[in-house]
């Protein structure tokens, strides 16, 4: 009987001990589960931060690309002739001929080229004329320049220039 009496006295404490152990086990498992979730959230945060950085870089690159696209517009031929004539007059250069070439269409651009024959009194005037072309707000590329003295006495300079205007396809004929 003594054992039964002891068990009756300890019965309440034994139940409390089992409940405490069960509760501690549940709490520990919840703690482990939440730690795993927290670790996964931290990994996801790093991944999302990298994605955000890439997206911001892409946005900046797209803005830069758009600015280049706006810069690369096709200039109408009559505007080119007028502009070059004005440059020539201001720098004492005479335009002898202006010969357009056939347009070259690439997948990402259209190139309009033309040959320009000019004469000038000296190299300095010719250089100022070429500098104006290169610094013009529209993009012109001087692909070839053959420069020689104009006559046997060495007075004057003649030049054959090959100029190109590069345009992004969306901007072809945009200014006509």
pTM of the model: 0.57
**Whether pLDDT at 103 is above 70:** yes
Instruction: State pLDDT tens for residues 11-68.
Output: 888 888 889 999 999 999 999 999 999 999 999 999 999 999 999 999 999 888 887 7
CATH superfamily assigned to domain 77-171 = Ribosomal protein S6/Translation elongation factor EF1B (3.30.70.60)
Q: Identify the residue with better confidence: 40 or 106.
A: 40
What is residue 90's predicted lDDT score, i.e. its pLDDT?
92
Radius of gyration of the chain (CA): 40
Question: What are the extents of the domains in the chain?
Answer: 1-71, 77-171
Q: Helix/strand/coil (H, E, C) string of the chain?
A: CHHHHHHHHHHHHHHHHHHHHHHHHHHHHHHHHHHHHHHHHHHHHHHHHHHHHHHHHHHHHHHHHHHHHHHCCCCCHHHHHHHHHHHHHHCCEEEEEEEECCCEECCCCEEEEEEEEEEECCHHHHHHHHHHHHCCCCCEEEEEEEEEECCCCCCCEEEEEEEEEEECHHHCCCCC
Q: What integer pLDDT is reported at residue 175 of this predicted model?
A: 45
């Amino acid at each position: 009987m003594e054992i039964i009496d002891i068990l009756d006295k300890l019965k309440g404490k034994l139940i409390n001990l089992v409940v405490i152990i069960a509760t501690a086990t549940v709490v520990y498992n919840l703690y482990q589960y939440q730690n795993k979730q927290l670790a996964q959230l931290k990994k996801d945060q790093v991944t999302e931060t990298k994605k955000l950085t890439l997206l911001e870089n892409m946005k900046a690159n797209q803005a830069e690309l758009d600015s280049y696209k706006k810069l690369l517009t096709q200039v109408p031929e009559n505007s080119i002739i007028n502009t070059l004539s004005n440059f020539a007059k201001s720098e004492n250069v005479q335009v002898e001929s202006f010969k357009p070439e056939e347009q070259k269409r690439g997948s990402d651009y259209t190139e309009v080229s033309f040959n320009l024959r000019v004469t000038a009194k000296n190299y300095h005037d010719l250089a100022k004329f070429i500098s104006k072309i290169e610094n013009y707000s529209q993009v012109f590329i001087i692909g070839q320049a053959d420069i020689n003295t104009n006559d046997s006495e060495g007075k004057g300079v003649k030049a054959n220039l090959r100029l190109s205007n590069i345009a992004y396809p969306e901007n072809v004929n945009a200014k006509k």
